[in-house]
């Protein structure tokens, strides 16, 4: 089972335009829809589609429309009492696949809510193959809250983290062989945020991305899956490094592609696949998601790892040069 945490969930509204976005003008929309979202919820949706047991943990009231959407989708969930309504995020999608996101901050989290979320995860950890901590922290949460939760859970089960900005930096600052998560999934911008490197170079150069990811492995992270947008992804472990090139994809929306990549990787782990095949499955899921509108999560048949090209990079020692 994969348990997911979404500490700052959102109702994701997606508007697809008929042409490029131009500030200060009136636009016609091709379509618009909304669904319960957040990175952890997206991963739970992918689990459900693939037949993997999952429980989504989040702060929300039982009568919130967000929860009604989870129930309609068949997503098992554990709720804690929220400090306010679920936020609404807006994504504007252009015909060429360019997406513009307007994310609201969410309710200020109280210590009681954060304690309840951590306690719920602790209670579920013994039953879980993985616990995934995903997305932004709500206002009011200490920036090192994820680091505290990882330290509590990592002796009970395997822990994956996908976050950014200050919570990511705080997590990296606390890394050690007894405190690190088993899996981290940064992108190019996120790698740059704690290495000081150039984000564009990290995204376009798999060797540079692998070297940056290696710094996390050296500090105790077991696997680092670095997603690089249209340049694919890099996987770094203590045993080596690999780069995967995605198949040709007509990009519709990149929202949720990283979440799908993370799920694809976890699916490969659950299937007992070797690192190269896990990476191929991650990139296949991410590419499939990029070809779908809004935050639509791909079905397993839409992910084509057989079309992903994977090559080994340098040996672990060479990656550090």
Residues identified as active-site: 259
CA distance 284 to 228: 13
Reduced to 3 states, what is the DSSP secondary structure of residue 14?
Answer: strand
Tell me how crowded residue 62 is: count the other CB atoms within 10 A of its CB: 10
CA distance 57 to 217: 28
Helix, strand, coil percentages for the chain (3-state, nearest 5): 40, 25, 40
Asked if residues 91 and 246 have their Cβ atoms less than 8 Å apart, the reply is: no
> HSE-up of 188 (CA within 13 Å, CB side)?
17
CA distance 180 to 222: 8
């Amino acid at each position: 089972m994969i348990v997911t945490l979404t500490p700052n969930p959102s109702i994701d509204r997606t508007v697809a335009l008929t042409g490029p976005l131009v500030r200060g003008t009136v636009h016609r929309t091709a379509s618009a829809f909304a669904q319960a979202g957040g990175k952890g919820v997206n991963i739970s949706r992918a689990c459900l589609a693939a037949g993997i047991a999952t429980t989504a943990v989040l702060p929300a009231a039982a009568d919130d429309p967000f929860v009604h959407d989870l129930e309609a989708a068949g997503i098992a969930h554990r709720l804690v009492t929220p400090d306010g309504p679920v936020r609404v995020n807006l994504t504007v999608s252009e015909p060429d696949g360019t997406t513009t996101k307007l994310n609201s901050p969410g309710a200020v989290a109280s210590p009681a809510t954060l304690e309840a979320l951590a306690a719920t995860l602790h209670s579920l950890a013994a039953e879980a193959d993985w616990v995934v901590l995903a997305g932004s922290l709500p206002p009011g949460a200490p920036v090192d809250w994820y680091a505290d939760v990882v330290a509590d859970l990592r002796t009970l089960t395997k822990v994956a983290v996908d976050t950014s900005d200050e919570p990511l930096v705080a997590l990296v600052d606390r890394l050690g062989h007894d405190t690190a998560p088993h899996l981290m999934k940064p992108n190019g911008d996120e790698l740059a945020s704690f290495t000081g490197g150039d984000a564009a170079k990290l995204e376009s150069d798999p060797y540079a991305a692998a070297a940056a990811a290696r710094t996390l492995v050296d500090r105790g992270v077991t696997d680092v899956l670095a997603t690089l947008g249209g340049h694919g992804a890099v996987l770094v472990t203590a045993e080596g490094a690999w780069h995967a090139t995605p198949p040709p994809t007509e990009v519709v929306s990149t929202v949720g592609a990283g979440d799908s990549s993370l799920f694809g990787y976890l699916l490969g782990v659950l299937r007992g696949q070797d690192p190269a095949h896990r990476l191929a499955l991650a990139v296949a899921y991410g590419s499939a998601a990029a070809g779908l509108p809004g935050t639509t999560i791909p079905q397993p048949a839409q992910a084509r790892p057989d079309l992903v090209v994977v090559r080994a990079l340098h040996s672990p020692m060479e990656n550090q040069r």
